[in-house]
Chains A and B, each alone.
Chain A
Amino acid sequence: MSKFADIQIDPAIVKRAARGDARAHEIIYRAFKTPVYSLCLRFTRAPAHAEDLVQETFIEIMRSISKFRGEAALGSWIRRIAVSKALMFLRSAWTARSQSLADDWDDVTPGNAVSHGISSHPDEALDLDAALANLPSVSRTVVWLHDVEGFTHKEIGKLMGRTESFSKSQLSRAYQRLRPMLSPMGDSVADENAALRSI
Chain B
Amino acid sequence: MANETKDEEMICGLTADERDGLMRGLNALPETMPPRAVWNRIREQAQAEGLIRTAVTQRPSTWVAGFAVAAAVVLAMTVLPRLMSTAGLDTQYTEPPALTNDIPVKVTALQALMVQSQQLESDLRTLPDEPKVMRASTVATLSDIEDAIAAIDFQLNESGVQMTPDERELFWRERVRLMKSLVRLRYAQAQRTAF
Residues of A with Cβ closer than 8 Å to B? 1, 3, 6-7, 9-10, 13, 19-23, 25-27, 29-31, 33-35, 37-38, 41, 45, 47, 50-51, 54-55, 58-59, 62-63, 114-118, 121-126, 128-129, 132, 143-144, 147-148, 152-153, 168-169, 171-172, 175-176, 178-179, 182-183, 185-190, 192-193, 195-196, 199
Q: Which residue of A lies closest to B122 (CB)?
A: A6
Give how many B residues have a beta carbon under 8 Å from the other chain's beta carbons: 66
Q: With a CB–CB cut-off of 8 A, which chain A residues contact B158?
A: 47, 116-117
Assembly CA distance A37 to B38 (angstroms): 10
Total contacts A to B, CB within 8 angstroms? Answer: 186
Residues of B with Cβ closer than 8 Å to A? 4, 8, 11-14, 17-18, 20-29, 31-35, 37-39, 41-43, 45-46, 49, 51-55, 92, 103, 107-108, 110-112, 114-116, 119, 121-122, 125-126, 129-130, 132, 154, 156-163, 165, 168
Assembly CA distance A23 to B43 (angstroms): 10
Q: With a CB–CB cut-off of 8 A, which chain B residues contact A7?
A: 125
A35→B31 contact, CB < 8 A: yes
Task: List 26 A-B pairs, Cβ < 8 Å.
Answer: A3-B125, A29-B42, A33-B33, A33-B38, A34-B33, A37-B32, A37-B33, A38-B32, A51-B34, A116-B156, A116-B159, A118-B163, A122-B103, A123-B107, A123-B110, A124-B107, A128-B25, A132-B29, A148-B23, A171-B8, A171-B12, A179-B13, A182-B22, A183-B21, A196-B116, A196-B119
